[in-house]
C-alpha cells in the first residue's frame, strides 16, 4: 500500500450500488432534493404567486335551472310520499 | 486505499466538505478497491500509516497524532463497512449496520473532541444518512424472517439524536458553529421517527429547538432543501395534532419554496395541504393545481366536485373509494369533515333556488334536497338535526320554527362566507 501510483482521487459519487439505490427509493418518504440550494425562480411558487391554485368550496355561479327544476320534482315526490304516508295512518 | 486517503488530504487543504464526505460514502467509487486493500489484521496500522503519510505531505500539516487517531477510527470503521458490502455474495446488513454505528460514533467524537470544523459537517450528514439507510435494510432483513420490530432503526435514532445535540449545543461563535448542521440532522430524525411511528419524539425535538432559538440562526438562512423538508414535517406534525392553522402555515411555505421539479415531494406536501385548507379556509384545490399530479387528481378532484355540487352520495362514494389510501396517509378523518361543507353547499342551493330575498323556507325543501342528493329518503327530524348542526357550527345563520315547519334565515349573510368565519 506504500506504492503511490498516479491514480487521482475521485470525489464524485458516480456509482450507485444496486442495494443502496433501492434504499434511496423508499416509497413513502420525503425525498432528498437533487440540489441543496435553489433560486426563487426554481421554486414552485415564485414571488408573484400563481393564480388559481385554490378555489372556494362552493359554486358562486348563478344556480343552474336544472337544480331548481329537479328540486321541484323531488319536492313533489317527497310531498306525494308524505301524503300517502299520512293516508296509511 | 491511497486514493481515498489522498482525497482526505485534498479535502482538508481545500476545506471541501463534500469531497471529505465522499470518502465515507457508501456510493464512493473506490469502495471495492478499499475493501480489498487490506485485511482485518493490518487495517488499523495500514490506515494510520496512510493518514500519516498524507498528513506529512501537507503544508502546513493537517493535524497532530491525536487528530490522526480520530480519523483512523473513522476509516477503520468504514473499511469494515466496505468489506461487509463488497466481499460477500449476499450482504449481511446487520454486519454493515454494526460498522456504520462505529463509523458514525467516531465521526460524532471527531466533532466533539477533535475540533473538526464547521466546513466538515457534510461528513456528519453522510454518516447519519447512511446509518439510517443501513439500519432500515438490516431491520427489513430481520422482518423478512418474521421479527416484528425496528430495533436497529431505534438504535440509529439514538445515535442521530446525539449528532443533533452535538450541533444544537455548540457554543462556538456563529460563523464557526455546528448549529448550522441542526436542521439537516433534525430532518433525518423526523424521517426516522415517522418510520418508527414515534411522532411524540419529533415533538421533543421541536421543544429542544424552541428552547434554543435565541442563539439559533433564523430558519431562512439555512439551505432551501433543509427549510422545505423541515417545514413539511412540522406541517404534518401539526396536522396530526389537529392544529390546522399551524399546519397550513408550515405546509404552504414548504409548497411555495419546494423545488418545482421535485414531483414526489410536492405531492407529499399537497396530500396534507389539501385537507388542511378544506378545514381552515374551506377551499378546494383547483384543476390547475391538481393537473400535474394524476394520482392526487384522481382522488381529490371528484371529492372537490361533489363538495361544490352538494352531492352527498357522490362524496361518500369517492371517500370510500380512496379510503385505504386516505387512512394510510391519516387524512381520512379530516376529509370526512368535508361532508359538512357538502351539506352546507346543498342547503345554500336550496336557499338560492327559493329566490335570493326569501328568508323563510319550508323544512321540506331541505328534506327533498337531502333525499335527492344522498339517495336515501330522510325523515323530517333528521333534516332538522342537520340544519341545527349547521347553525351550531356557524355555517348557517337562522333558526328552525318547528310549529310552522319553516327554516327562518337571517336577512343578511345567511350563509356566511367560510373564509371569514373561522
Instruction: Read off the pLDDT of residues B342-393 as tens digits, 9 standing for 90 and up.
Output: 999 999 989 988 876 788 999 999 999 999 999 998 999 999 999 999 999 9
B305 in the same domain as B184: no
In a domain, B343, yes or no: no
B29 and B164 within one domain: yes
Last residue of a domain, one of B184, B216, B248: B216
Domain-located, residue B341: no
Same-domain pairing of B252 and B211: no
Q: Please identify among residues 241-300 of chain B the ones whose CB lies closer than 8 Å to any CB of chain A.
A: 255-262, 264-266, 268, 277-278, 281-286, 288-289
Cβ neighbours of residue A59 closer than 8 Å, sequence gap 6 or more: B308, B309, B345
CB contact under 8 Å between A14 and B136, yes or no, is no
**Residues B135 and B208 both lie in one domain:** yes
Q: Are residues B231 and B309 in the same domain?
A: yes
ipTM surpassing 0.90: no
The answer as to whether B344 is a domain residue is: no
In the block, residue with C-alpha cell 476545506: B15
More confident residue, B56 or B419: B56
Query: What is the CA angle B198-A26-A44, rounded to 5?
Result: 90
Higher-confidence residue of A14 and B305: namely B305
Range 374-393 of B in CB contact (< 8 A) with A: 377
Q: Are residues B52 and B172 in the same domain?
A: yes
Residues B157 and B8 in one domain: yes
- Comparing alpha-carbon positions, the chain A residue that sits nearest to B23 is A11
Specify the pTM: 0.88
Any domain includes B294: yes
Residue B380 placed within a domain? yes
Asked, for residue B296, whether it belongs to a domain, the answer is: yes
Q: Do B52 and B100 fall into the same domain?
A: yes
Binding-face residues of B in 168-187 toward A, CB within 8 A: 187
What is the per-residue pLDDT for B98? 97
- Over the range B17-56, which residues count as b (16 or more CB within 10 Å of their CB) and which as e? bbbbbbbbbbbbbbbebbbebbeeeebbebbbbbbebbbe
Whole domain around residue B386: which residue ranges? 350-420
pLDDT of residue B234: 97
User: How many domains, chain B?
Assistant: 3
Mean pLDDT of the region A15-44: 72
Lowest mean pLDDT of A7-21, B104-118, B320-334, B393-407, name the range: A7-21
Q: Enumerate the residues of chain B whose CB falls inside 8 A of the CB of residue A78.
A: 364, 367-368, 371, 377
Is B305 an 8 Å CB contact of chain A?
no
Best A7, A16, A25, A38 member to test B by mutation, with max B CBs in 10 Å, is A38
Alpha-carbon distance B71 to B405, whole Å? 84
* Residue B333 CA from chain centroid, whole number: 20
* Boundary-marking domain end, from B284, B310, B336: B336
CB nearest to B2's CB, from A4, A45, A57 = A4
Q: Which of B195, B216, B237 is the last residue of a domain?
A: B216
The mean pLDDT value of chain B amounts to 93
Contacts of B347 in chain A (CB under 8 A): none
Which residues have CB under 8 Å from B227's CB, separation 6+? Answer: B183, B219, B220, B253, B257
Alpha carbon of A89: minimum distance to chain B alpha carbons (Å): 16
pLDDT in tens, B176-191: 999 999 999 999 999 9
Domain co-membership, B129 together with B231: no
Q: Partners of B316 in the beta sheet?
A: none
Amino acid at each position: 500500500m506504500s506504492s503511490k501510483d498516479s491514480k487521482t482521487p475521485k470525489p464524485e459519487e458516480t456509482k450507485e450500488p444496486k442495494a443502496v439505490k433501492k434504499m434511496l427509493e423508499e416509497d413513502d418518504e420525503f425525498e432528498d432534493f437533487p440540489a441543496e440550494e435553489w433560486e426563487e425562480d426554481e421554486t414552485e411558487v415564485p414571488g408573484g404567486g400563481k393564480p388559481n391554485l385554490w378555489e372556494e368550496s362552493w359554486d358562486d355561479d348563478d344556480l343552474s335551472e336544472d337544480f331548481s327544476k329537479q328540486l321541484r320534482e323531488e319536492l313533489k315526490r317527497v310531498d306525494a310520499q308524505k301524503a300517502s304516508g299520512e293516508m296509511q295512518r | 486505499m491511497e486514493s481515498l486517503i489522498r482525497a482526505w488530504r485534498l479535502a482538508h487543504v481545500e476545506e471541501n466538505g463534500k469531497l471529505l464526505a465522499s470518502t465515507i460514502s457508501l456510493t464512493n467509487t473506490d469502495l471495492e478497491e478499499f475493501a480489498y486493500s487490506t485485511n482485518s489484521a493490518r487495517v488499523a496500522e495500514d490506515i494510520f500509516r496512510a493518514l500519516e503519510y498524507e498528513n506529512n505531505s501537507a503544508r502546513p500539516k493537517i493535524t497532530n497524532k491525536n487528530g490522526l487517531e480520530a480519523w483512523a477510527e473513522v476509516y477503520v470503521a468504514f473499511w469494515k463497512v466496505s468489506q461487509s458490502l463488497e466481499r460477500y455474495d449476499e450482504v449481511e446488513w446487520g454486519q454493515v449496520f454494526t460498522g456504520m454505528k462505529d463509523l458514525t460514533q467516531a465521526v460524532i467524537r471527531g466533532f466533539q473532541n477533535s475540533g473538526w470544523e464547521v466546513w466538515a459537517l457534510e461528513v456528519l450528514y453522510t454518516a447519519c444518512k447512511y446509518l439510517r439507510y443501513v439500519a432500515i435494510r438490516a431491520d427489513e432483513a430481520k422482518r423478512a424472517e418474521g421479527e416484528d420490530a425496528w430495533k436497529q432503526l431505534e438504535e440509529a435514532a439514538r445515535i442521530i439524536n446525539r449528532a443533533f445535540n452535538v450541533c444544537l449545543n455548540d457554543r462556538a461563535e456563529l460563523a464557526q458553529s455546528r448549529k448550522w448542521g441542526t436542521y439537516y440532522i433534525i430532518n433525518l430524525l423526523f424521517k426516522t421517527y415517522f418510520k418508527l411511528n414515534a411522532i411524540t419524539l419529533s415533538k421533543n425535538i421541536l421543544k429542544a429547538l424552541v428552547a434554543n432559538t435565541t442563539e439559533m440562526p433564523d430558519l431562512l438562512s439555512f439551505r432551501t432543501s433543509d427549510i422545505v423538508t423541515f417545514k413539511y414535517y412540522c406541517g404534518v406534525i401539526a396536522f396530526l395534532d389537529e392544529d390546522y392553522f399551524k399546519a397550513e402555515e408550515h405546509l404552504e411555505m414548504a409548497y411555495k419554496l419546494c423545488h418545482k421539479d421535485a414531483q414526489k415531494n410536492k405531492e407529499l406536501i399537497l396530500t396534507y395541504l389539501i385537507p388542511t385548507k378544506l378545514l381552515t379556509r374551506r377551499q378546494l384545490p383547483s384543476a390547475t393545481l391538481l393537473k400535474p399530479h394524476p394520482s392526487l387528481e384522481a382522488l381529490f378532484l371528484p371529492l372537490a366536485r361533489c363538495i361544490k355540487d352538494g352531492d352527498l352520495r357522490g362524496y361518500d362514494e369517492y371517500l370510500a373509494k380512496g379510503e385505504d389510501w386516505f387512512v394510510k396517509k391519516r387524512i381520512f378523518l379530516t376529509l370526512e369533515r368535508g361532508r359538512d361543507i357538502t351539506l352546507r353547499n346543498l342547503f345554500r342551493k336550496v336557499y338560492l333556488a327559493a329566490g335570493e330575498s326569501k328568508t323563510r323556507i319550508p323544512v321540506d325543501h331541505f328534506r327533498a334536497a337531502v333525499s335527492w342528493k344522498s339517495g336515501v329518503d330522510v325523515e323530517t327530524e333528521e333534516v332538522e338535526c342537520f340544519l341545527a348542526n349547521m347553525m351550531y357550527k356557524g355555517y348557517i345563520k337562522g333558526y328552525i320554527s318547528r310549529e310552522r315547519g319553516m327554516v327562518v334565515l337571517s336577512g343578511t349573510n345567511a350563509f356566511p362566507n367560510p373564509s371569514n368565519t373561522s
